[in-house]
Amino acid sequence: MMCEGDFLKYRGYLGDVSYINRLRMLQGRLVGINERVYYAAEDLDSLHAEFCRAVDEYLAKCEAEGRKPETPFSGYLEVETSPEIHRRLYELAHRRCTSTSSLVKNILAEYLDSHAHDAD
């Protein structure tokens, strides 16, 4: 799992970057979609070009096959928690006359907004 650093970005897609020491190559894959789309190169500029090419080829392949490309980060997020936290979320949502899903969405948005500088 990649925990630090930036992602490559192109046409709404994100790609990760890793280094294969024994091959002295950079590689990556599109993240946020189920289909496996990979790219590799020997330097960062070439890797970015390969990433963009991989995205373009993925979109062209989907179009040629008559299927809709996967949308990165669709908005559906499955979260596992303890029964106690689940109960507390439900009770708080009920007191606020909202759904548990809306409450969690608001909590996450507030957390991310308050930690926006962490991404820099």
My answer on whether 57 and 25 are in the same domain is yes
Structural domain including 106 reads 83-119
For residue 28, the cross-strand partners are 39
Q: What is the pTM of this model?
A: 0.70
Q: Write out pLDDT tens, residues 38-74.
A: 999 999 999 999 999 999 999 999 999 999 999 888 8
Residue 58: name the closest of 20, 14, 88, 102 by CA: 14
Measured in degrees and rounded to the nearest 5, phi and psi for residue 77 equal -135, 120
Residue 72 domain-assigned (yes or no): no
My answer on whether 91 and 44 are in the same domain is no
pLDDT at 75: 85
If one counts the domains in the chain, the total is 2
Average pLDDT in the chain: 91
Least confident of 44-48, 75-79, 99-103: 75-79
Q: Which of 64, 91, 106 is the last residue of a domain?
A: 64
My answer on whether 90 and 58 are in the same domain is no
